[in-house]
């Protein structure tokens, strides 16, 4: 099996969830409650950093 075939087979292994979808939900929620655009961008930048540096288990423990 070629690399491309493997990647195509596993790309939706966890369903449609992705970091991009999570960030989109986060922005939508912030807009909904009236958070200004600068703060939205600051929060999303920090969220992106957290996604790169914090494990899923650690993040779940914060919820």
pLDDT for position 34: 98
Structure tokens at 25: 């939900």
- Of residues 40, 20, 22, the one with CA closest to residue 31: 40
**Is the Cβ–Cβ distance between 47 and 21 less than 8 Å?**
no
Extended beta strands in the chain, E state: none
- Residue ranges of domains in the chain: 16-62
Residue 39 pLDDT exceeds 70: yes
For residue range 12-38, what is the model confidence (pLDDT) as tens digits? Answer: 676 667 888 999 999 999 999 999 999
| Residues in Cβ contact with 31 at an 8 Å cutoff, skipping those fewer than 6 apart | 40
Q: Where residue 8 falls among pLDDT bands split at 50, 70, 90? A: confident
């Amino acid at each position: 099996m070629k690399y491309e075939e493997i990647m195509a087979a596993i790309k939706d292994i966890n369903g449609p969830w992705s970091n991009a979808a999570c960030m989109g939900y986060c922005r939508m929620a912030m807009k909904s409650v009236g958070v200004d655009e600068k703060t939205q961008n600051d929060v999303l930048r920090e969220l992106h950093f957290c996604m790169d540096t914090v494990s899923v288990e650690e993040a779940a423990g914060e919820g």
